[in-house]
Each structure stands twice: as C-alpha cells, then as structure tokens.
Chain A
Amino acid sequence: MCLGVPMLVQSIEGFQAHCEAKGIERDVSLFMIQDVDVKPGDYVLVHVGYAIQKLEPEEAAATWQVLDELFESNELEEADPEGAARRE
C-alpha cells in the first residue's frame, strides 16, 4: 500500500501524467510535485497513484531490482490469487 513504485512518464496533461512501468500503464497525479519540473522521459516515484518525487533513472532501475525480488518471493511463498490481484 505504501509501496512506492518508480514509473516512466510518457505524456502529461495538466496535473495528470500517463506513466508506464513493467508494461503496466497508469494515470498518475503530479498534483503534489507541481513545483517540480517533470517532462516525458522522466521517472517519478508513485505512491497510491500520486507522484511524491522525481527520480534519477539509476535510482528507478535500482528500486525496481528490489521490487522484482519482492514480487518473486511473494509469488513463490503463497498461492494467493487475491494478493496477486491486489498487487496487480
């Protein structure tokens, strides 16, 4: 739930950014970082649909490494389709 996920900004309209990560696309609000200069091609850290900060690309990649391991271990650890759906 508090899982911050780095996403790549694809396009921006007002405070809405269309973002992508691991093939999943999402609309993300830039409302909380409206003072920050964010452009398509930048990475943002997304908490519950809101960007809370801009990220350097290396930081985004390294964070995904940690998340990948987490998702993998969670999948192995339990057959919990509910949980998988929750995490999408």
Chain B
Amino acid sequence: MSDAKAREWIEAIHQLDLPSRVRVMNVCGGHERTLSMAGIRSVLPKNVEIIPGPGCPVCVCPEEDLYLAIQIALHRDATVMTFGDMLRVPTNVPKREVRTLEQARAAGARVVPIASPSEVWDAAMANPSERFVFFAAGFETTMAPVAARIAEGLPENVDLLISGRRTWPAVATLLAGDRAAFDGLIAPGHVAAVMGPEEWLFVPETHGIPSAVSGFRPDQLLSALYSVLRQLVEKTPVLENCYAHAVPAGGNAQARRLLDTVFEIVDAPWRGIGTLPESGYGLRPAYAARDARVLHADLADESRKRMGEMPAGCGCADVVLGRIYPTECALYGTTCVPRSPVGPCMVSDEGACRIWWAGGIRSPEDLRTLHA
C-alpha cells in the first residue's frame, strides 16, 4: 500500500476511538478483491473486521437452475451459452453423473462460455437454423446489460434462462433478525451506479447502521471504511456516498428503465439460503414463450428445489451470508482449492473463498494474525 492517499486514510482510521470489536460488511466481489489483493485487513486496527457478505451471484445461483441448464445441454438440440464462471459450478448429483456444464461439454453437449450477452446474439444470428439458450446469472450490474440486449431485440432462435438477483434484499434479510450481523456496511459502488445509492438508505434509516457507498481503489475503500467507522464513533448513522463522481443520485435511469421493461421483481431462491422476498429478476409475461424454464419444464427435477443446497460439507451459504469466514470452512484449502473447487465460492472470481485463496490467505492462522 504505497499510495499516499491510502496511507492518510489508514492513519485517520487508527486515530478513531473504536469499540473493542467492529464488524464491517462488504457486499461486492470487486470490493473484496481489492481488500484482499491490497492487503487492507493487515493494516487496519486489529479490532476492525471486514466481512465478505453476499457479493457473488454465481455462488447463490440455485442448484435447480444449474441442473436444468445441464439437462438442456445434454438432452435438447440447443447450445447453452453462459458467463464463464458458471461452467465449473458443481451440482449435487451423484458422482458418476454430469455435475457441471463443463462436464456436459466434455460429454459432447454444446456449452459455450461467454463474456458478453452480445456473443449469444452474434452466434444466433450467424446460425439461424440452430437454437440457443442464454443462461444468465448475475446481480444488477450484469442484469441491466442483459435487459438492454433483450430490449434491443431477441432473435427468434434464442431462449432465456434467467437467474438474476438483486443485492439489497439479501442485506435486508441479514438485518431482519434481532441482532444485526454487522456494525457497518460498505455499499457496492457499481450496483449503486446503476440502481442509485438510495436503495441502501434503509440500512442507516431503518436499522441505524452506518453505511458508505465505495469505489474499488484501495484509497476509495479506505475512505468509505473511515466514513463508516467515524459514523459509528459519533453515533450518526447515514449513507455517505464516497464514490460520488461515479454514483449519481438515482443511478442510471436508462438502465433502470431497461430492467423494468424486461424483468419483473419476484421472490427468488438463493442457493443454500432459501427464498428471499423481492430478490430476483423474472422475465415479464411478454417473454413467456422464450422462457427456458417453461419450454423445458419437463427436464426440471422438482425434488431438487428441496435438496437445492450446497455440496456436502461446503459452507458457501454461510460464507455468502457473512456468518463464517472462508477459512472457517473445513474444506477450505484441503479438498477445496481453485483447481478442484467443491463449492461455488471457490469457482467464481467473485466468490470469497477464491478471492481469499488468491490473496494468499491459506489457513485460520493466517486470519488470526489479522485480528485481535
């Protein structure tokens, strides 16, 4: 951390008269990545914990959706196209069966990893006699571009399997109990840039918890952290926008309009966590004829909805909810490593387990050196 601005914030944080234990949650894989890569935890006062929370849409994509995508790839004359992270996320089927989209591809199914929805449109337009299924999981920042692409026109030969999720309802769930899961919140900068920072006002206003919208550079995260901690000390919880030049009031109105045109808000299941109210994007009825869930309902396994939990022994759901740190999962670094991931949190670039591993945190001891 050589940056002078970052050093100033670190000093300012050390000057604060903080309680003996402070837990600040972030809800964005991008934030967690900067925190880990820049080693920010190691330069903070030892009583300040930063907990990675629900920041990984791949990690909470329901098992039954993955299962359906795999079955479509295996049994229908169609190409399944999905963001690269989804290919290696395991389902809970018995070992000898096809567990991932990657294995389906190895078995001869047509599965194509993409980086942008436009790749689906290009492929569909180039091959008008073939069918394509676009399997899209993501938070607001991903679903807005997906909505834009659909609103611009959906080719006749593209069907949609949508597993989009909204971020704030997960945080609302964490705050619903009598005892808050954290003392301060770093709100996600890019989600706020799209949806508007106002979505996060409920955290200070309803729950009295200090909050700040943050950018992704180390000094920006430190300034947001300072804001949250100062609010905590002064007992003046508000939502401070520490990323104002990128996050205007109201967010991106065009993006919100597009989301609203294509999707309706639905109660949606989060893998290993359960159904959270108003937490998902569902296709509007106008697109029902292109909804892969409806078109391929016969391939879905209804019983999976009940058994749609994480793989055996995987604590990913608790990691996503910030109840445990990645290192507190018994499989972390033993049977579960990026090369052979057990759970989605070790697969996705936004999963806390994978980010911590990449950041060099290998064991509970590594974590203990960071906190008092």
Chain A interfacial positions (CB closer than 8 Å to B)? 1-4, 27, 29, 31-35, 45, 47-50, 52-53, 55-56, 59, 62-63, 65-66, 69-70, 73-74, 77-80, 82, 86-88
Contact = CB atoms under 8 A, between A and B. Distances in A.
B123 interface: no
A87 B85 CA distance: 10
A69 B85 CA distance: 20
Contacts of A48: 83, 115-117, 138, 142, 145-146
5 contacts: A2-B190, A45-B246, A50-B149, A77-B357, A86-B84
B221 to A, nearest CB: 10
B210 interface: no
Contacts of B141: 2, 4, 47, 52
A82 B255 CA distance: 32
Contact of B30 (A4, A52, A73): A4
B152 interface: yes
A49 B116 contact: yes
Contacts of A56: 245
Given A32-B148, A77-B357, A52 B338 contact: no
Contacts of B350: 1-2
B258 A49 contact: no
A33 B248 CA distance: 13
Interface of B: 29-30, 33-34, 37-38, 57-58, 83-85, 87-88, 102, 113, 115-119, 138-139, 141-142, 144-146, 148-149, 152, 190, 193-194, 215-218, 245-246, 252-255, 258, 338-339, 348-350, 357-360
Given A48-B117, A59-B246, A63-B216, 20 more contacts: A1-B58, A1-B83, A2-B190, A29-B149, A32-B144, A32-B255, A47-B144, A49-B116, A49-B117, A52-B145, A52-B255, A55-B246, A69-B37, A70-B33, A73-B358, A73-B360, A77-B357, A79-B339, A80-B338, A82-B88
Contacts of B29: 2
A52 B148 CA distance: 11
Given A2-B29, A50-B148, A63 B57 contact: no
A34 B146 CA distance: 16
A5 to B, nearest CB: 10
A62 B217 contact: yes
Contact of B144 (A52, A55, A65, A78): A52
B148 A29 contact: yes
Contacts of B87: 82, 86
A16 B216 CA distance: 26
Contacts of B58: 1
B254 A1 contact: no
